[in-house]
């Protein structure tokens, strides 16, 4: 039984994708924007914790985009999720830089949000339009590849994006 938890963290729309014993799910989690930050963080962590029926074998999170206006708030959510995972015994998360995720999905490290959704629709069978979900589905696929259980075949150029992640995991 393999469980993957993949997260595109955001206080406004956290994309998630899971694979739990071969059953996949994806979607968006959010807490009311009117709630204070601490309450929103707590609610999002609770929702994330309830996504799987067992502890994940791998947790894959898109790393913080430092140039974004919301990087500080996103960092708070990253910290809250990492702390929760540590407390309950999840494995350390694999942090995937945005450019690495884009290259893995599209072959280009500077792909835009639309290209990520199109790639998820073409290769992963995604039938939606939400870029948060598309990113999370690609993160789940990164986890599947890192576990040696890919669900799709990708060109060598795309797979080369994982070289650095694989080396970091081996260290």
The string of pLDDT tens digits covering residues 127-165 is 999 999 999 999 999 999 999 999 999 999 999 999 988
pLDDT of residue 7: 98
Segment (H or E) for 23:
strand 23-29
pLDDT of residue 90: 93
Q: What is the pTM of this model?
A: 0.94
> How large is the greatest C-alpha to C-alpha distance in the chain, in angstroms?
45
Q: Report d(CA 151, CA 31) in Å as an integer.
A: 31
Quote the number of domains for the chain.
1
- Residues in a beta bridge with 94: 60
What distance in Å separates the CA atoms of residue 123 and residue 60, rounded to the nearest whole number? 19
**Distance separating alpha carbons of residues 124 and 118, to the nearest angstrom:** 10
- What was the pLDDT predicted at 170? 67
Contact 45, 98 (CB under 8 A): no
Instruction: State which residues of the chain have pLDDT below 70.
Output: 1, 66-70, 170-171
Beta bridge partners of 17: 6, 26
Q: Please, are residues 94 and 60 in contact by the beta-carbon 8 Å criterion?
A: yes
Position 166 scores a pLDDT of 78
User: Domain with 47 in it: what CATH number?
Assistant: 3.30.420.10
pLDDT of residue 21: 80
CA–CA distance, 60 with 67 (Å, rounded to integer): 21
Domain span at residue 164 reads 3-170
Per DSSP (E only), the strands in 41-98 are 58-62, 94-96
């Amino acid at each position: 039984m393999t469980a993957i938890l993949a997260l595109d963290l955001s206080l406004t729309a956290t994309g998630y994708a899971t694979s739990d014993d071969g059953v996949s799910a994806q979607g968006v989690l959010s807490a009311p924007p009117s709630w204070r930050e601490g309450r929103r963080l707590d609610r999002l962590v609770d929702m994330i914790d309830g996504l799987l029926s067992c502890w994940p074998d791998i947790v894959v999170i898109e790393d913080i985009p430092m140039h974004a206006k919301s990087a500080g708030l996103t960092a708070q959510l990253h910290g809250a999720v990492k702390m929760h995972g540590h407390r309950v015994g999840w494995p350390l998360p694999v942090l995937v830089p945005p450019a690495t995720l884009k290259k893995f999905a599209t072959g280009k490290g500077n792909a835009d949000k639309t290209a990520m959704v199109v790639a998820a629709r073409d290769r992963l069978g995604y039938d939606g339009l939400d870029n948060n979900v598309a990113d999370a589905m690609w993160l789940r696929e990164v986890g599947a590849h890192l576990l040696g259980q890919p669900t799709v075949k990708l060109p060598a150029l795309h797979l080369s994006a994982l070289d650095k992640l694989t080396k970091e995991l081996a260290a």
